[in-house]
Amino acid sequence: MSYETLLTELSEGVATITVNRPSAMNAMTTVTLRELDDAVRTMNAAKEVRAIIITGAGEKAFIAGGDIALLRDMGPLEARELAQLAQGLCSAIEQGGTPVIAAVNGYALGGGCELAMSCDIRIAAETARFGQPEVNIGILPGFGGSQRLPRLVGKGRALEMILTGDMIDAQEAYRIGLVNRVVPAAELMATARELARKLAAKSPLALRLCKEAVMNGVEMELTQACRYEAELFAVSFGTEDQKEGMSAFLEKRPARFTGA
C-alpha cells in the first residue's frame, strides 16, 4: 500500500504502520487520520496479516497530537467531523480482530496518546512522554481520551492528567497502567516485533474471539459478560484451529494454525 503520510511494511505476518511526518513530530492531519483508518481496516481484512504494529518515524515523537495549524481555524461542525473520524479509527483498532501493538518511541500527546490507548498492547521507549494537553489550548480531548484514559488508569488519575494537561514519563505511565512495558529506546522496535511475531503464531480466530470477549464484555454486568464469554468459548470449538491446537498439544508438536 502507498500512502502520503504513512509507511507500511509486512514481514512474517506482522504489518508495521509508521506515521511518517517527522518534521511535524508526526502530528496528525485529516489526511493522516484517513490513511490510518484505511491501513488499519485493510490489514484487519488481510488473512496474511496476523499482528499490527503502529509507531512513529524518527526518534522524537510517536504522534505529538493533532496538527494545531489545521485545528485553529476549524468551526464546531468541522471539529465534530474530525472527532468522529478519529474515533472511528480508534474503534477499528479495538474492534478489529487483529491484535495491535503501539510502539511508542517518543511524544504521545493528545490524539497520539488517544490512538495508543486504543491499541491492545502499548510498549514505550524510556524516552516516551504521554499526555492529554488539550486544556492548554482551550479544548478537551476529542478522540476518545476522556473515556479510554479513566478506563485504563482510573478516574482520579485520568482527571489529573486531563485537567492539568501535564505530561508524564514512560515509567510513570507504566506505574499507573497506561503502558504494558518500558524498554530502552534502541530495543523498542525489536521488542515490539518479537511480541508481534509471538502473537502472529497464535490462532487468528482465537485472538479475534479473545479481543471480542474483553472489549465487549468489560462494559457488561458480570453475569451477562460471563454468558457472553461462554458463547464465544462455544464458537471456538467449531474451528479447525481448535482441533489443530489441541491435537498439537497432545502430540507434543508446534501447532500450525490456519485461521480456519
Catalytic residue IDs? 114, 134
As separate numbers, helices (DSSP H) first and strands (DSSP E) second, the chain gives: 11, 10
The rounded radius of gyration (Å) of the Cα atoms in the chain is: 19
| DSSP string computed for 117-156 | HHSSEEEEETT-EEE-GGGGGT----SSHHHHHHHHH-HH
144: number of Cβ within 10 Å: 21
d(Cα 164, Cα 65) in Å, to the nearest integer? 16
Q: How far is CA 127 from CA 130, 145, 161, 173, 206, in A?
A: 10, 22, 19, 12, 34
Residues contacting residue 229 through CB under 8 Å, at least 6 positions apart:
213, 217
- Alpha carbon distances (Å) from 159 to 7, 109, 122, 135: 34, 15, 21, 11
Cell of 50: 496476523
Burial call 80-92: b when 16+ CB within 10 Å, e when fewer: eebeeebbebbeb
The answer to whether 82 and 142 are in contact (CB under 8 A) is yes
